[in-house]
Amino acid sequence: MKEIGKGVSDKFRVGQKVVVQPTVYCASCGACKVGAENACSSGGFIGLSGAGGGMSEEVVMPEISIMVRERPRLCLGGYSCTRC
């Protein structure tokens, strides 16, 4: 985490290691409300739908897409692994 924007919760700090959910979603449509962000009616992907490219040196992401991981779980790209 290089920089933190205004209005972001205090669970983040500069220098912290984080992983990013690569999909962009609204968090308010019917699909998002039931946990199916991959079916978001206005969803997309980093680099294809704005938010900078996934291979960029830096990207700006909404707080809902960032998770704190001091030791990334590499078996599923760091996002939702239950085996590590």
Q: Answer yes or no: is 39 within a domain.
A: yes
Supply the range of the domain harboring residue 64: 23-70
Q: Answer yes or no: is 10 within a domain.
A: no
Question: So what's the pLDDT on residue 72?
Answer: 57
Domain count along the chain: 1
Contact 4, 58 (CB under 8 A): no
Question: So what's the pLDDT on residue 30?
Answer: 94
Contact 78, 68 (CB under 8 A): no
The number of helices, as runs of H, and strands, as runs of E, in the chain is 1, 4
Q: What digits encode the pLDDT tens for the residues 23-35? A: 888 889 999 999 8
Question: So what's the pLDDT on residue 83?
Answer: 52
- Residue 52: pLDDT band (50, 70, 90) is low
Q: Which tokens hold the place of 77?
A: 């790209």
- Residue 14: pLDDT band (50, 70, 90) is very high
